[in-house]
Amino acid sequence: MAFFYRPLSPRSPEESHRAATPLELLFDLVSVIAIAAAALGLHHAIAEAHAVQGIITFLMAFFAIWWAWMNYTWFASAYDNDDALFRLLTMLIMGGSLFMAAGISPLFKSGDLTMVILGYIIMRVGMIALWLRAAVSDPDHRSTAMTYAIGIGLVQVFWVSFLFLQPLAPAFIYGLFIVGVVLELAVPVIAERKNTTPWHRHHIIERYGLLNIIVLGETFLAGVISLQQIANGETNIAFVHIAISALVIVFSMWWLYFSQEEHLQTSDLNRALVWGYGHFIIFASGAAVGAGFAVLVDVISGHAKASLLVGDYAVGIPVAIYMLGLWFVRDRFCLTGNAKLVLPIFAVLVLLAPLTPLALEGIAAMTALSVLVRNYLAQNNLK
């Protein structure tokens, strides 16, 4: 019986050598399937000259994927006891993620939210069960756990109501979705202020870093697709430029993220919320870079309605946003002087690059140069 069920007691936030578990890595793998589906939808929308609608739909889908991943990650950091029931509830959440991933294509094609919302609700029901387990086993955080369980449950009532109101005009869909987002974001803010859960700071930093690596993998895939054009007999040297630029940019984005400065220097709740929530900017833009490179491949191969400038900006804009996201969650807190300004300045330079003759190569050069300049200045400007 102990194998199937053990009390879900809190883990120590000071636990040494805390690392991601195989179950958490499997959870990431499932999440990246949904992320890839959202990036593919964004790629096709931009290539077909429906960029605005595609971006909005991508952000909606990505929020659902990221938010479910984030909630589980912070919970597991505080309460993972690896009994059979915990594993089964985690697998239920994974199943919801796969269900949601299957619904992303219909969402982009026709605006059908049914499978995305149903998959999301499955994931959230699993989280409610986990929080109820924590409430039973952890008297010191019972109020916090119950606030999570009740809050998540009430927001799911909103999503179910949203589903039954379909079909709606796009303006109403976007407006109600924003309301749902605000409600979801409010639950941890309210719950954690009662009594902060014992999440492990270094474990959380590692978990976020691992997901960022997976997200950046979307750009590697786009580089491979570009080289496949050469393998299939294309003679346009532009495909080689795209592949090389993709490698330079993704390596630089990785280097910018995994700098010498620690991402989350304190367990302060307000700081943790800014860091945790702000990563939506980083993860979403990181995935969008890969979609942008895929758009460029379509443009060069003649399979897109979008222009080359649009393709360049499909890469440049998310790269710039990625830099600003890193500044927002990390650099403005841990750097001083000129070092603090590096990423905002280079974000602007990246946005200007497509207007120059260098275009994509200029974006790659500015991204790589941002790594060099930032690291040089940061060495002498740590707080």
Amino acid at position 255, single letter = W
Query: b/e map of 223-241 (b: 16 or more CB within 10 Å)?
Result: bebbbebeeeebeeebbeb
What is the per-residue pLDDT for 383?
47
What is the per-residue pLDDT for 248?
95
What is the per-residue pLDDT for 234?
67
Walk along the chain (383 residues) and give the pLDDT tens digit of each residue: 556 777 888 888 888 888 899 999 999 999 989 999 999 999 999 999 999 999 999 999 999 999 999 999 999 999 999 899 999 999 999 999 999 999 998 989 888 888 999 999 999 999 999 999 999 999 999 999 999 999 999 999 999 998 888 788 888 889 999 999 999 999 999 999 888 999 999 999 999 999 999 999 888 777 777 767 766 666 678 888 888 999 999 999 999 999 888 888 888 889 999 999 999 999 999 999 999 999 999 899 888 899 999 999 999 999 999 999 999 999 999 888 889 999 999 999 999 999 999 999 999 999 999 999 999 998 876 54
Number of C-beta neighbours around residue 216 at 10 A:
21
- 304: its two tokens: 């897109």
Question: Domains along the chain?
Answer: 22-192 (no CATH), 201-378 (1.20.1410)
